Amino acid sequence: MTKAEFDEFANTFADAASQNTSFFDSDYGYFGRYRSNIVKRLCGPNVANILDFGCGVGLGIPPLREAFRQCRIVGCDPSQESLALARASAPDCEFMESSAIAPKPQFDVVTAVSVFHHIVPSDRDAALRYCFERLKPGGHLFVFEHNPYNPLTRHLVARCPVDRDAILLKPKETVARFKRAGFDRVAAEYCLFFPKALAFLRPLERSLGWLPLGGQYYVCGIRP
């Protein structure tokens, strides 16, 4: 999807995303808290700087702020319309175009949530290198992506206007790209298994990361 197309969807993205996932949980914030808790569990609470790569309208920023209250949080995106909305919703964070962030080690954590399926395959390695270059040694990159093995996920992607250009990544591809970019200790897990109707089973999710039935998966790697 081009920058202009992301600008076009900026004002409707939040509603579209919420409607598309309401069957799983009517509280769209659940997804952001879920992912932020994974980051906090693996990195600990003492994180000083986080970059949300491809932050869009900033839906994932409040859960990150909730999990890391004293952290500097920066969001970057190619869409100026999206960045304007993100600034309005999270004035205590920073938002800028990707090109404005210098390629030097400065972040402890970089997150990329449902971003890489919008990047054409030939540009994905360069996007990972972008993240690598801005991480401090020992810093973590987390890429959260839709699980292409889950038929319901594929159905939701197919009906979502924002995902009309989506080319889903299998975990194997994402892991291989991490390694080519130079990341160490690369690991992948599936996540988001149980809808709200089965919320009593959600405590089991941490033991199911090996099972390719989650709605999403994440890959984590560390810059040596």
Q: Which domains does the chain have, with CATH numbers?
A: 3-222 (3.40.50.150)
pLDDT of residue 23: 83
pTM for this predicted structure = 0.94
φ, ψ for residue 31 (rounded to 5)?
-65, -45
pLDDT of residue 159: 87
Long-range CB pairs of 34-38 (<8 Å, 24+ gap) are: 34/191, 34/192, 35/60, 35/63, 35/111, 35/113, 35/142, 35/144, 35/218, 36/60, 36/63, 36/64, 36/66, 36/67, 36/68, 37/67, 38/142, 38/191, 38/218
Tens digit of pLDDT per residue, the chain (224 long)?
A: 445 455 555 556 556 667 778 889 889 899 999 999 999 999 998 999 999 999 999 999 999 999 999 999 999 999 999 999 999 999 999 999 999 999 999 999 999 999 999 999 999 999 999 999 999 999 999 999 999 999 999 998 988 888 888 999 999 999 999 999 999 999 999 999 999 999 999 999 999 999 999 999 999 999 99
Residue 84: burial class (beta carbons within 10 Å; 0-12, 13-18, 19+)? middle
- 3-class DSSP state for residue 112? strand
Which pLDDT score is estimated for 1?
A: 47
Measured CA angle at 45 (ends 39, 51), to 5 deg: 55
